[in-house]
Amino acid sequence: MRILFYCIRKVFDMGSKISSFGKTADGKEVSLITLVNKNGMGIEVTNYGATLVAVTVADRDGRIDDVVLGYDDVTDYTLHGGYLGATVGRNCNRIHGAKVAIDGKEYILDDNENGNNLHSGFQGYNSLLWDFEVIEEELAVKFTHHSADGEQGFPGNFDITVTYTLTEENEVKIHYCGTSDKDTIANLTNHSYFNLGGHGSGDILEHTMWIDSDAITVTDARSIPTGEIRDIKGSPMDFNTPKKIGKDISADYDQLIQGAGYDHNYVLKNQGCGLRKIAEAADEKSGRVMEVLTDSVGVQLYTGNFIDKDSRGKGGAVYQPRHGFCLETQYYPDANHHENFPSSILKAGERYDTTTVYKFRVK
């Protein structure tokens, strides 16, 4: 079992470190990269899935804890589902019927969830071994992948970089950038499950949440958008006024019943205005606050409703449903099938370029 980051930070105060994260089933070495800023905040990332493994931040009393769910080594990441901390692509979320039409041509994708395509199928970016380089002067790690024409069923040779930067303002900045030689879908996200009380501290129902959105994309019983964009002001889905995640999660409301809780794309305000604050979560007990900034048009709030019961995470922590929440910035799910949704098509030769920031503080 690896030594958890917050246990080694006393002997590794600032900068970067590369260590072993185990081997894949076919014997390939996997790396774990640790970054620490001058404030003592740190992150761990691995080249398996360009995955965010740990985020260690202090509470209001200065106690350090890891606030993302994850596993101790690469073997557990390969054995368990849930996409914990992973980079998801070439397309995150769901595509109805596991097929897309681009420039009049239909492309067949993996059917890996009830007749639909989820997170790009059986060989998503979350299960790839990425190339990487550490950018010491920026306290960053840049992951790269050449996604060949036809990989996952999508057209175009898509060259993608995902860069994690740990700033001195206690931000985890994730920058996605890529180009394709054919029109394709480009819609990546990070699938971290956050628990601001600490990854092993239990459920997140007492966390307070705010999301800058007045609407959601309505889904059917299989979590596929119907095309309806619904005004949610005053409904159990509304987080315009901060409230506890658990306040309305069991309300008698069609979308919450279908999703067994929150698992919905929120239509963000101020689209086209660049990087701006779109959400905030807070844990009153620890005092930790996480702000989310993005230039994306949507964000998926997922409250871990289907985390495998009694799964074992880092340090033997027991994870259960609703022990973490995700805020996955994105284009709207199934955008290719709905003309009223912003398009997730990346034109050949154009640049896919988007940034999401998770910023931490205490109150």
Interval 34-52: pLDDT, tens: 999 999 999 999 999 999 9
What are phi and psi for residue 11, nearest 5 degrees?
A: -100, -5
Q: Say if strands 29-36 and 42-46 run parallel, antiparallel, or are unpaired.
A: antiparallel
pLDDT given for residue 81 in this prediction: 83
Own/partner long-range contacts of 20-27 (Cβ < 8 Å, ≥24 apart): 21/46, 21/48, 21/53, 21/73, 21/74, 22/73, 22/74, 22/75, 23/74, 24/48, 24/74, 24/78, 24/129, 25/78
- pLDDT tens digits, residue range 141-185? 999 999 999 999 999 999 999 999 999 999 999 999 999 999 999
Helix (H, G, I), strand (E, B) or coil at 359: strand
* Four-CA torsion 345, 146, 83, 67, nearest 10 degrees: -100
**pLDDT above 60 (res 216):** yes
**pLDDT above 90 (res 4):** no
Q: Which two tokens stand for residue 167?
A: 């700033």
- pLDDT tens digits, residue range 269-327? 999 999 999 999 999 999 999 999 999 999 999 999 999 888 899 999 999 999 999 99
Q: How confident is the model at residue 9 (pLDDT cuts 50, 70, 90)?
A: very low
Q: What percent of the chain has pLDDT over 90?
A: 95
Apex CA 230: angle with CA 225 and CA 227, to 5°? Answer: 30
pLDDT given for residue 96 in this prediction: 97
Determine contact, residues 131/142, Cβ cutoff 8 Å.
Answer: no
- CA–CA gap between residue 36 and residue 52 (Å, rounded): 14
pLDDT given for residue 311 in this prediction: 85
Across the range 116-144, mean pLDDT stands at 97
**pLDDT above 60 (res 78):** yes
pLDDT given for residue 309 in this prediction: 86
**pLDDT above 90 (res 28):** yes
Indicate which residues carry an active-site annotation: 191, 328
pLDDT given for residue 10 in this prediction: 39
**pLDDT above 50 (res 215):** yes
What are phi and psi for residue 242, nearest 5 degrees?
A: -55, 140
Determine contact, residues 193/304, Cβ cutoff 8 Å.
Answer: yes
Across the range 207-235, mean pLDDT stands at 97
Can you give the pTM of this predicted structure?
0.95
pLDDT given for residue 13 in this prediction: 67
Across the range 185-196, mean pLDDT stands at 98
Across the range 57-81, mean pLDDT stands at 96
Residue among 2, 11, 6, 55 at smallest CA distance from 31: 2
What does the mean pLDDT of the chain come to? 95
Determine contact, residues 48/40, Cβ cutoff 8 Å.
Answer: no
